[in-house]
Amino acid sequence: MKNLHYIVVKDTGKTKVWEVVSNHNNVVLGKIGWYPQWRRYVFFPFSNMLFDSTCLNEIQKFINSQMVLRRT
């Protein structure tokens, strides 16, 4: 990914949690984790963080790729 990278901070064997980190300044922007009510990975942004469409698109692609891996 161009603007972001993801660091696994928790792995239960069934689901994972990643920190979403900016490549520009290494600031953690939020986390991606499993949301059982929706049965999906979702992005939990930290407060006062701003995202443009490029970053949101990268996060979306990452979540979609993890959902594909989870289904296989």
The encoded tokens of residue 6 equal: 């993801």
* pLDDT on residue 72: 82
Cα–Cα separations (whole angstroms), residue 29 to 17, 35, 66:
13, 18, 19
In the chain, which stretches have pLDDT less than 70? 1
Q: Answer whether 66's CB lies under 8 Å from 41's CB.
A: yes
* pLDDT on residue 53: 95
Q: Which residues contact 28 (CB under 8 A, 6 or more apart)?
A: 19, 20, 21, 46
The pTM for the full model equals 0.92
Sequence ranges of the domains in the chain: 4-71
